[in-house]
Chain A
């Protein structure tokens, strides 16, 4: 197989560089040859002979045979061109936010555990970079620290290296200052031998406070102050005369408070409305991806290139942040020329590796490693201690309804515990506010959501992105309303289903078919619901308490504007390679993208390279927000690429790959076919793929194998690959592109063609573009993956133990690319939701993982025995059945985001089932046996 062009060409483009205060730093994301998931990687195994059908995961064999594909697997000795030696980094973590961090006392460390270097926040002070403090293990460290602390009091604090773009608080706490949050790094220890590193880890495992000194000092630096919100806060107010989507930002900011007051007054005066309190609280949750974060870094002293080995969901942002950090005036490596990220398959993600601070901590460590490769590898205790969490949240409000079951309004305040770092917390809160409208038509809304800075572990982009908390609040309140009014839960929901033509709580329109009534029909007719009384009676006859719960979710996928890029290459031998900026964190993106080209190009990809965000640089497009021409410039786009989210695969990434494959088919393969057949121009409708060969529709010329076509394409000088960029904001940008196959109209805003493996692609300016209207940017979200969940469970009243007996999930997943992966994602969502609802208990503060002593012996995730093992409902057995909504004939072959959709409505369904079983509302997650026994005792 010929190799596709590797993204190093990107280094010559605008996007491949980042201008910084100290100059220009090149950026690149590559795979580890034969190992990672980026360009140049080759872990692919055959997807299968049937176009569009996957017989296994494309990277499955590498994973199941234990090959090196995760960042944690690599050492410096594995990296070509790196020195064989390796240093080890260990961060010490703040244990209090009540006193100032004064420094370290390493005199307790055994001699065999002494670090080669100790770096404090003060070492990152710009004024000190000319003479960095290095602590040799043979020196009396404590004495030097005392001197340093004294110097510190006389120097300005802060520095952009310690405070990269987007961070509110220092990477390393300045000695003399109070830490901003528990787990904030207070010191970096660097070890030049593995033995010393391990000895230090062993010594510090029980109590790393033994080497930290705290006492009176200055308060925390930076903003916001504790218990203040991170910006921005979200307020959605909506009534018949005003809403977010229909109002420009300035007017909205000015008038929304008045509208809010108007709404509140109207609701207060509407005494005929039924009022249902909404009250829910949820603990923080750890994503508990299986591979604790780990990485490797080295700065080549000759080339000044920093190489990183990471498994991240946000390669784009990580590399840019690191380049920005080292490009600051205060950089300890002021002449850094290049940052190259070797992108590995992450051992799980669930959002926890999206914009994780880990990459910055690794980069910070290598800056002080004296030219040595350095490895930073969290253990599980540390991962619990500092890894991004799903936010602890409180929801408090009121649901207003008419006595004919029609919902009128929702008033809700949601407070997310953002913890230490801002991260993506305000945006999680914002999506939570949107989700608070549930699956329902709500004429009036007054929803406020904010993420507050606290001393707790930072929250971030977890699976569901605010949805789990919001749906738990609204769906439990709905059941309480039904119970209070004597209404049927199903009927109440059915009376209020949102549909095409309605608007969400932002005022944004629903323009996508949701199929909610049909989904409720399916759930209502299913024996788990229809025969719930009989099932209950059977359990009670055997002494078990049984309940049935129902809940819905309408999870949005994508963001308010998404840019994606993909390339499809045709090798001279007829093999196909797909490249994408997406990251496969286990959700199967690589496999899906590999088979989605099959029906278009006659074969599945033999290779899929993921995480290639520098592909965008090769498109020739600019996403400069300052462009005066914007869409009038045929080489401008609203957004290059964003962080990688699993929910973006099924529609956004798939459609981008499909359109790019269409560009290759119609702009190259059909041109070659027409010449070989000696006929006039061909359209896609003139041909059909059959048994790996292209033939004309109807009788005519002899079929052409893909290999024969590929050979012709290469020999005729036709495009051997296509590079497409797409932008989706309520609708796809569409445009005409002049290709060797004539003018093609595609759902792309950028297209370029490759001619051979060695050359840069040639961009084609778009014509006759149709673009999203500006007001759509304020809809918040456009596309939805609805799910109805029914849960049947038993309760042991003596122990408080709950067993989920059966789960029914009715899901609108759109077109299903790989059915096995859809069911696997759904089952994973069910397991995670059961853990979140019943098992995973994480107290805040030093009572929780911030003390560094939490692991899976204290934090219990769902195991096989906790989940229904079957996949098809049968009376008397335990199963989780997934029913997907069939798609009408002729529907586009694009799907919808799924796992979080299934997961989001399981927690309220469990709580509703418990209410059905006991008559008691358990609205505080997790619903532990202690809480249940307490509730029963009342």
Chain B
């Protein structure tokens, strides 16, 4: 038995004996993809959030990579922060965070970016009543910990995108 999954489009096949290893360790030490950050290591702070698609569902879900065993990833498609920018150009979420000075030390930023992207994708597919948008944003990124900024600027940055998307405006994610 093997564990098969992709990371940023590249396929990997690992023996089941490695199933206990965490996705975060695999990203860091095997793939040298260190953009996904370790902070608490127990799945509380969400700095290590990555995007995982598990067919047949096409929907991406946020996954806490520090607490996700490789054994649970068989058949999945994993995307990390390194896959987001195209040719060095930030995606709309990254650009909004830059424009709003949303982060300071920046260590939590990749986790916020990944969670915000998945939230906006969901919103594109299933808009919510405008009065529920704030609560939906809180649901999406409210559990992420940032120690520098006090969150206000992250929410401001996401709010402008979320309002646009929720109103039917297309953005490329």
A and B from one complex:
yes
B81 A827 Cβ-Cβ under 8 A: no
Beta-carbon contacts of A327-363 to B below 8 Å, as 1s and 0s? 0000000000000000001111110000000000000
Q: Among the listed B84, B97, B148, B152, which residue makes an inter-chain contact with A348, where contact means beta carbons less than 8 Å apart?
A: B148
Q: Is A174 an interface residue (CB 8 A)?
A: no
**CA–CA, A671 and B71, complex, Å:** 69
Q: Among the listed B29, B113, B150, which residue makes an inter-chain contact with A829, where contact means beta carbons less than 8 Å apart?
A: B150
Q: Is B3 an interface residue (CB 8 A)?
A: no
B150 A831 Cβ-Cβ under 8 A: yes
A63 B147 Cβ-Cβ under 8 A: no
A861 B145 Cβ-Cβ under 8 A: yes
Stretch with Cβ within 8 A of A (4 or more), from B52-60, B102-110, B117-125, B165-173: B102-110
A residues within 8 A CB of B82?
65-66
B residues within 8 A CB of A77?
32
B156 A871 Cβ-Cβ under 8 A: yes
B residues within 8 A CB of A74?
34
A64 B42 Cβ-Cβ under 8 A: no
B105 A864 Cβ-Cβ under 8 A: no
Among B81, B101, B144, max chain A CB count under 10 A is at: B101
Q: Among the listed A57, A70, A292, A855, which residue makes an inter-chain contact with B42, where contact means beta carbons less than 8 Å apart?
A: A855
A65 B84 Cβ-Cβ under 8 A: yes
A830 B150 Cβ-Cβ under 8 A: yes
Contacts A60-B98, A61-B98, A290-B145 given: A347-B107 contact, CB under 8 Å?
A: yes
Beta-carbon contacts of A277-297 to B below 8 Å, as 1s and 0s? 000000000011111100000
Among B29, B106, B149, max chain A CB count under 10 A is at: B106
B90 A857 Cβ-Cβ under 8 A: no
Q: Among the listed A56, A380, A832, which residue makes an inter-chain contact with B39, where contact means beta carbons less than 8 Å apart?
A: A380
A65 B34 Cβ-Cβ under 8 A: no
Q: Among the listed A63, A68, A828, A867, which residue makes an inter-chain contact with B106, where contact means beta carbons less than 8 Å apart?
A: A63
Give residues 43-60 of A contacting B (CB, 8 Å): 55-57, 59-60
Beta-carbon contacts of A815-840 to B below 8 Å, as 1s and 0s? 00010110111111111100000000
Q: Is B51 an interface residue (CB 8 A)?
A: no
B residues within 8 A CB of A61?
88, 90, 94, 98
A residues within 8 A CB of B33?
66
Determine the interface band of chain B, counting residues with CB < 8 A from chain A: 35 or more
Q: Is B100 an interface residue (CB 8 A)?
A: yes
Q: Among the listed B41, B151, B153, which residue makes an inter-chain contact with A380, where contact means beta carbons less than 8 Å apart?
A: B41
Q: Is A849 an interface residue (CB 8 A)?
A: no
A residues within 8 A CB of B153?
820, 823-824, 827
**CA–CA, A863 and B40, complex, Å:** 15
A residues within 8 A CB of B102?
824
A residues within 8 A CB of B132?
none
- Shortest Cβ distance from residue B93 to the other chain A in the assembled complex, whole angstroms: 9
B101 A73 Cβ-Cβ under 8 A: no
**CA–CA, A172 and B162, complex, Å:** 53
**CA–CA, A449 and B113, complex, Å:** 45
B98 A290 Cβ-Cβ under 8 A: no
Q: Is B19 an interface residue (CB 8 A)?
A: no
Q: What's the tally of chain A residues with a CB closer than 8 Å to chain B?
A: 67
Q: Is A865 an interface residue (CB 8 A)?
A: yes
- Shortest Cβ distance from residue A59 to the other chain B in the assembled complex, whole angstroms: 8
Q: Is B143 an interface residue (CB 8 A)?
A: yes
B residues within 8 A CB of A63?
103, 105-107, 109
Contacts A831-B150, A856-B40 given: A865-B138 contact, CB under 8 Å?
A: yes
**CA–CA, A313 and B138, complex, Å:** 33
B42 A828 Cβ-Cβ under 8 A: no
Contacts A348-B147, A867-B150, A869-B155 given: A857-B44 contact, CB under 8 Å?
A: yes
A residues within 8 A CB of B127?
none
A289 B147 Cβ-Cβ under 8 A: yes
Among B80, B105, B154, max chain A CB count under 10 A is at: B105
Contacts A77-B32, A827-B149 given: A864-B84 contact, CB under 8 Å?
A: no
A290 B39 Cβ-Cβ under 8 A: yes
Q: Is A555 an interface residue (CB 8 A)?
A: no
A56 B101 Cβ-Cβ under 8 A: yes
B105 A289 Cβ-Cβ under 8 A: yes
**CA–CA, A587 and B148, complex, Å:** 8
A290 B47 Cβ-Cβ under 8 A: yes
- Shortest Cβ distance from residue A817 to the other chain B in the assembled complex, whole angstroms: 12
Interface SS of chain A: helix, strand, loop or mixed? Answer: loop
A585 B105 Cβ-Cβ under 8 A: yes
- Shortest Cβ distance from residue B69 to the other chain A in the assembled complex, whole angstroms: 13
Q: Which residue of B lies closest to A381 (CB)?
A: B41
Q: Is B85 an interface residue (CB 8 A)?
A: yes
- Shortest Cβ distance from residue A807 to the other chain B in the assembled complex, whole angstroms: 10
A291 B107 Cβ-Cβ under 8 A: yes
Among A57, A347, A379, max chain B CB count under 10 A is at: A347
- Shortest Cβ distance from residue A644 to the other chain B in the assembled complex, whole angstroms: 14
A290 B99 Cβ-Cβ under 8 A: no
Q: Is A67 an interface residue (CB 8 A)?
A: yes
Q: Which residue of B lies closest to A202 (CB)?
A: B20
B151 A867 Cβ-Cβ under 8 A: yes
Give residues 69-109 of A contacting B (CB, 8 Å): 69-70, 72-75, 77-78
- Shortest Cβ distance from residue A199 to the other chain B in the assembled complex, whole angstroms: 11
A residues within 8 A CB of B94?
61, 64-65
**CA–CA, A623 and B39, complex, Å:** 40
Q: Which residue of A lies closest to B155 (CB)?
A: A869
A residues within 8 A CB of B110?
64, 66
A856 B145 Cβ-Cβ under 8 A: yes
- Shortest Cβ distance from residue A598 to the other chain B in the assembled complex, whole angstroms: 17
Give residues 1-53 of B contacting A (CB, 8 Å): 25, 29, 32-42, 44-45, 47
Contacts A72-B34, A861-B145 given: A66-B80 contact, CB under 8 Å?
A: yes
Q: Is B75 an interface residue (CB 8 A)?
A: no
Q: Among the listed B44, B113, B151, which residue makes an inter-chain contact with A856, where contact means beta carbons less than 8 Å apart?
A: B44
Q: Is B63 an interface residue (CB 8 A)?
A: no
**CA–CA, A56 and B156, complex, Å:** 15
A290 B105 Cβ-Cβ under 8 A: yes
Q: Is B130 an interface residue (CB 8 A)?
A: no
Q: Is A194 an interface residue (CB 8 A)?
A: yes
B residues within 8 A CB of A831?
147, 149-151
- Taking A66-B34, A862-B150, A867-B152 as given, write out 19 further A-B residue pairs in contact, using a Cβ cutoff of 8 Å, ordered by the A residue number: A60-B103, A60-B106, A61-B90, A63-B107, A65-B82, A65-B84, A65-B90, A66-B35, A289-B147, A290-B145, A290-B148, A291-B37, A291-B39, A291-B105, A347-B37, A820-B153, A831-B147, A856-B44, A864-B151
A-B contact pairs, 27 of them (CB 8 A): A55-B99, A61-B90, A61-B94, A63-B107, A74-B34, A75-B29, A77-B32, A194-B29, A198-B25, A291-B37, A345-B106, A346-B105, A347-B37, A347-B106, A380-B40, A586-B103, A821-B104, A823-B153, A829-B150, A831-B149, A856-B40, A864-B154, A867-B152, A869-B151, A871-B156, A880-B150, A880-B152
Q: Which 6 residue pairs are nearest across A and B when measured between Cβ atoms?
A: A66-B35, A63-B106, A586-B105, A827-B150, A347-B107, A66-B81
